Amino acid sequence: MFKSVFLLLLILSSVAFTPLVFGQELKKATWLENASVIYDQKYSKTVIASIAFETINNNEIIIPDSLLEKIVSKQEIRNVVFSNMGECVMGVPADKQCIMINFDLQQLKGEGGITTVQNNGKMIGDQFIYELNQLFGVDAKFHSIFIHGDNEGMSSTSEFTSGRMVSAAYTMPKQESGVVFDNLSENLIASQITSAGGFFDVARQMASNPESIVSLVIIQDARTPFLLLKVSHEHSDQTDDISVINPLDFLGVNTLERSKHFENIFVPLNSVVQVVVFPESPSQINSVRTNVLTELASVEDVSKAGWFFTSTSPDSIDARFLFGTTNTISADELVMELGSWDIQNTSDSFAVEKINVDTVDAEGQYAVLVAIIVAAIAAAIFYLKGYKKKH
């Protein structure tokens, strides 16, 4: 069955990691990096891991001013998506990828009907496709106008898909994710970003997996469009046991480092690890291995590394890890333990103050490692003594 643009835009959603509002203004760079792992035990039975980058600065994701101004001038347009995800709308085969120009249905339709929607969608799409082909270095051809129905669950995709939407789809032969990522990195991402390591290196590694999806999105805004680059990978049959959450497992790394793009400035909100859990039965977080941040009201609150929970519902848990003044985090430090919902809890959420904090004992780990090495040496000496006696 085809994968509708609903799934694509769910994977693409970036507003989830846009920094929260704080009582005290913090310094903030325009480049945002986010590592996200969604454990969906309840619905799709999959784990979706992704690395995403967002900016409002088109000197970081390099889109011509003239094209951005043209998009802003068309209020019907909600976003423009370039992705190597096959089957982007009904009728597009798996061996094709898409450029989609997505419209607000009501604004595109006006006082007309279905014919008006189709004619206006293609007319506006055709005004953009040449420049978009030049931008992405492809030769996409018109495929269809697709109207998304309310029954596709659009409301769950937040700002991207609230209300009904229309897509003008243009297709081209599908490219490998590694090829797409390398082309975008070389041609559209500023060199100071691509050479700064950190999340970007993890995204490059993820894109080397042929099953990953690479997308670039221009999101309509009346003032300055948001620009989004994202690499994602969906893991099937990985949600049978989610009692222990280790997000870096699904990102394929043992440590995660912030971009060196931030090394000379303190911007604690620009690098985020997000974990979202949709458990099959009501659940709560029992323990974490770093701090729990109970509020984000000042600079002091975000100077310490730890988890901040934006949703503590037993059916939908959303946690954001902030690095504070640190630049690197290990897989062990990001582990969380999930438990069954306390049936005596009459609230509709769990209290973060009751989450156990089992900090990683680096000295203890080192002591264990030393003990193992000493034991190995002793065993080797014992073996050699026996060997010498026999010979």
What is the arithmetic mean of pLDDT over 344-352? 87
Q: Is the pLDDT of residue 386 over 70?
A: no
> 141-147 and 96-104: which strand pairing?
unpaired
User: Does the pLDDT value for residue 178 go beyond 80?
Assistant: yes
212 has pLDDT over 90: yes
294, two tokens: 């109970």
Q: Using 50, 70 and 90 to split pLDDT, how confident is the model at 173? A: very high
Q: Coil, strand, or helix at residue 284?
A: strand
How confident is the model at residue 384, as a pLDDT? 41
Q: What are 145's strand-pairing partners?
A: 168
> Per-residue confidence at 3, pLDDT binned at 50, 70, 90?
very low
Residue 180 has pLDDT above 60, yes or no: yes
pLDDT of residue 387: 39
pTM, two decimal places: 0.85
d(CA 30, CA 32): 6
User: pLDDT over 70 for what percent of the chain?
Assistant: 81
Q: Is 363 a residue whose pLDDT tops 60? A: no
Which of 7-11, 190-194, 359-363 is the least confident region?
7-11
Other beta carbons within 10 Å of 336: 23
CA distances to 93, 280, 284, 288, 343 from 340, in Å: 42, 10, 6, 15, 9
The residue to which tokens 């700002």 are assigned: 159
Q: How distant is the alpha carbon of residue 102 from its chain centre?
A: 21
pLDDT band of residue 262 (cuts 50, 70, 90) is very high
| Average pLDDT, integer, range 102-112 | 92
Q: Select from 313, 237, 243, 316 the least CA-distant residue to 275.
A: 316
pLDDT tens-digit map of 136-172:
999 999 999 999 875 443 222 333 334 589 999 999 9
Q: Which of 63-77, 158-172, 248-262, 368-382 has the lowest mean pLDDT?
A: 368-382
Cβ atoms within 10 Å, residue 98: 25
The two tokens of residue 88 are 């982007």
**Nearest in space to 296 (alpha carbons), one of 92, 50, 5, 22:** 22
- Mean pLDDT of the chain, nearest integer: 85
Rg (CA), the chain: 24
Q: Region 288-295: what's the mean pLDDT?
A: 94
| Cα 113 → chain centroid | 37
Angle between helices 114-136 and 177-188 (to 10 degrees): 70
Which amino acid does the sequence have at 98?
A: C
Which of 107-111, 170-174, 363-367 is predicted least confidently? 363-367
- Longest pairwise C-alpha distance within the chain: 99
DSSP alpha helices (H): ranges in 137-198? 177-188, 191-194
Q: Which residue reads 């998506």 in tokens?
A: 81
β-pairing verdict for 328-330 and 255-257: antiparallel
Strands 141-147 and 213-219: unpaired
Q: pLDDT (tens digit, 9 = 90+) per residue, 217-257?
A: 999 987 789 999 999 999 998 899 999 999 999 999 999 99
